[in-house]
Structures are given as C-alpha cells and as structure tokens.
Amino acid sequence: MESVRPDPTFHPSPALAMQAEPERITYTALLSPDRSRPDALAVVDVDEASPTYGTVLNRVDLPNRGDELHHFGWNACSSALSPLSCNAFLQRRYLLVPGMRTSRMYVFDTQPDPKAPRLVKTVEPDEIRRKTGYSRPHTVHCGPEGIYVSTLGGGGTDGTEGPPGIFLMDCQSFEVLGRWEIDRGPQELHYDFWWNLPRDYMVSSEWALPPQFENGLVAEDLLANKYGHRLHFWALRDRRHVQTIDLGANHQMALEIRPAHDPSRDYGFVGVVVDTTNLEASIWTWWRENGTFHARKTATVPPEPADAARLPGLLKGFGAVPPLISDIDLSMDDRFLYVACWGTGELRQYDVSDPFKPTLSGSVRVGGIAAHAPHPGGRPFGGGPQMTEISRDGRRVFFTNSLYSSWDSQFYPDGIPGVQAMCRIDPKGGMELDSKFCVEFGKDYGAHQVRLQGGDCSTDSFCYPSA
C-alpha cells in the first residue's frame, strides 16, 4: 500500500519553505468597480521559462455581481503540520474567496488543473449570518483544525448589530461551524488577525464598521478619530481575549498583522494607515515579554507636499499626499518588511533584522495620487502599490493597485484599471521594478489580492523553528 504523506507544499519551518520550488502561477482577485459585471478570479503565468509568461492564462467569472472580492486564502497550509492537528494529510487544494460586500463565500478547486480553477461551492450570506451573527467576510487563514475567517460586520443590513469577529469553517466540507470567540472582552472592531501556533496566541487589528467604509472613507469620522486604533491579543486554544493595546486615537486604521514566521520569535508588525495629527503613516512592532504584550512605533513615513490642483477633493485642503500604508508583508526569513504606500505610489523595503529598528533598504515608485508615475515598461499605472505578496525564496514581490472600489474612486477619481506588477529583490537588500512584467486586466476590473501557487508569505504559518 502506498504510504500517505503530507502535501509537499506544507513545510515544517520557514527555512524549509524558502527552499521549495518557485511559483509558476498566481491567482489574482479581480473586482468590478461599478458592479456592472461579476467579479472574477484570474490565473497569471509567472513561469519565466513559459512562452506565455506575464499573461492571463484563465479568468473565472463569478455567477453574481457586487461581491467585491478582496482577500482570500487556502483551505490548508503548513499549519496542518501542527502536533495539535488531525488534518496533516489535507491538500492545499481549495481557495476560499469571500465577497466582502455581499457576505458570500466562494470555494474554488484548483485540481486537477491548477491553471483552470473551478467554482465548486457557494456559501450564501444567510448561512454565515445565521450561524455566526457576522457579515462582510474579509481575511482567510488556514489553521490546524479548520479555516478561520475574519469579518468586518456584525448582524443587520448595515452590519452594525453586534460586533464583527472570526468564524470557523470545516476545511473539507466548507460548512460554517460558528463563531470562534468564547470570551471577546472589549473587542468591538475587526480587520486582520494572525497567530503564533506553538506559543498559542493570536493578534488581531481594527479597521471600521461597514457604514464607515462601504460607501467610501467618511472624512468626519476620520478627523474625529472614530476608526480603529487598537491591537487585541488572544489565548488561541482558549479562544479568549487577554489584552488590548491602544496605539492612540490619532493612529487611525491599524490594518495588516504580520508576525515573525519563525515561531521561536515572539514579535510582529502592524501598519497604521494615517496619523490624523500630521498625515504620516507608521509601522509598529509588537512583542511579548514575560507573558505581557507591548507595542511601539518603530518607523514612520511622512506625507509629501503636492499642488492642490493635482489632488482629489478629499485632500485639496491639506496640500499634501498621505502615504496611506495599505499593506505590509514580511519575507519568509523575517529579514525584510515590505510596506505599500498606496497614496504616494511608493513600495518600501525595510531591513527588520532588528525588529525594533527598521532600516529603509530599498524603494520603488509607480502610480501615486499626485505623481502618476508610469510603470518602467512605459505603461500608465493607476492607483499605487497596494496588496503585496512575496515569493517563498524572497526574490520576487508581486503587487496590485486597487484598495477598495469606493475608496479607489475617492482618491483616484480617474479610475484604477487593474494591474499586477513585480519587483526583483537583491538578497543583500534593495529592489527594482521589473520593466517587462506588467499584467493589465483592463479598465473593467480592479485588481486586489494575489496568491502564489504552493503558498506564500502571508498564507502559511509554521510550527517548528528554522535551523
């Protein structure tokens, strides 16, 4: 009898993941900005030996309109190798794709042909609301015992009846199991989450409730510091809130959570979109010491002065472009942190070998609210670097340019035709935009998150330290 072995794309440690073969395709979420057509999942060829390199191989249109595809993830990943897991023989096979605006969840099967994913199940919003009381599913993480999905809304039509949170899905049947939290504590807003599996804790962040983002940024709420600005820490197996850190009400919108990949390292990073006192953006390092969590600001990105005539109405009175950090991502070896400044059109690389002293080690510019810098290949580039994804070996960083349809139109009123670009990384530090890789999805689609075949630096969590 043939022995049963774990999926070869599951890796015990980050160092072993870095030695895996390079990705050959990516999956990219496409959205219809005006909701006139269905959103879609695109398959992009990133195999440099392929004659179709840098082109769209396939596009799977969804059966409904208005879903607003945003973040998505796998049914299973390296976390399945946890000693606490009974699912080590799962496959990284299915992509769970939430419709953030409709609260619908789609399940795509990437087998038998990874280049031709098939929609095999749709979880309707009524099931999610009925079993969890939540709406607006957002971030998907594969855990040892199932699929975790964060939400941005509670119950009711506008998502404000009760706080948002996290729910679990079965990783084989894709049945919604119910809320994850047993003791929520003071958590009332939600955005991202991630964990350290062996150390048994979770970290979560805050954005806003649906009325504060679905129809665009509410300037009055921002200036009144009513968006999220806290980190929450949880006992993972107990599903219990243990600590809150308030970053300060002026630090509005604490978004992406990126813990160190090596589970022996008790720290991580979070990006803050804007400081309402000076328009700067910031990176914070959080860590645990003697059982208590701490956080401090370790890097800032200043706003850039600009002629009011080049600014959208929302920013004319400021005479400057805020960086608007919309995503951060950490390389598999925990050395480089990539920071997407969607407002100024800059993608920054920080050396975070010392997580408390990030050092700027590289920068590229494309797009931007005022600059409108073209791609080095000569093509126009709307928006700015937004969702980023790092290859396992750390040599390539892919990124797209759409944030959220209603926010896109506020900050980039000329529109943001979807694009996927890529930077090549010097292992010693530094990066440059690849002038030949620029995948255009057309004016009818915005482009959001990218997932790499075989896993990437924001899907997998590891149970064993690197040697």
Show me where the domains of the chain are located.
14-452
User: Taking the model in full, what pTM does it have?
Assistant: 0.97
**Beta 38-45 vs 56-65: how paired, if at all?**
antiparallel
The identity of residue 346, as a single letter, is: E
Instruction: Return d(Cα 54, Cα 440) in angstroms, integer.
Output: 9
Give the three-state DSSP class for 38: strand
Q: Read off the tokens for 322.
A: 């805020």
Name the residue among 369, 331, 347 with its Cα closest to residue 433.
347
Instruction: Return d(Cα 315, Cα 310) in angstroms, integer.
Output: 10
Strands (E), 46-117: 56-65, 73-74, 94-99, 104-109
Residue 351 burial (10 A CB sphere; 0-12, 13-18, 19+):
middle
For 436, other C-beta atoms within 10 Å of its C-beta total 11
Q: Read off the tokens for 251.
A: 């630090």
Positive or negative, the CA dihedral 365, 42, 139, 93 is negative
Instruction: Return d(Cα 437, Cα 330) in angstroms, integer.
Output: 22
**Fold of the domain built from segment(s) 14-452:** Methylamine Dehydrogenase; Chain H (2.130.10)
C-alpha dihedral (297, 196, 450, 369), degrees to nearest 10: -10
CB 326 within 8 A of CB 308: no
Q: What is the residue-wise DSSP string for 138-156?
A: EEEEEETTEEEEEEEE-BS
In tens digits, the chain (467 residues) has pLDDT values of: 345 778 999 999 999 999 999 999 999 999 999 999 999 999 999 999 999 999 999 999 999 999 999 999 999 999 999 987 767 688 999 999 999 999 999 999 999 999 999 999 999 999 999 999 999 999 999 999 899 999 999 999 999 999 999 999 999 999 999 999 999 999 999 999 999 999 999 999 999 999 999 999 999 999 999 999 999 999 999 999 999 999 999 999 999 999 999 999 999 999 999 999 999 999 999 999 999 999 999 999 999 999 999 999 999 999 999 999 999 999 999 999 999 999 999 999 999 999 999 999 999 999 999 999 999 999 999 999 999 999 999 999 999 999 999 999 999 999 999 999 999 999 999 999 999 999 999 999 999 999 999 999 999 999 999 98
Give the three-state DSSP class for 363: strand
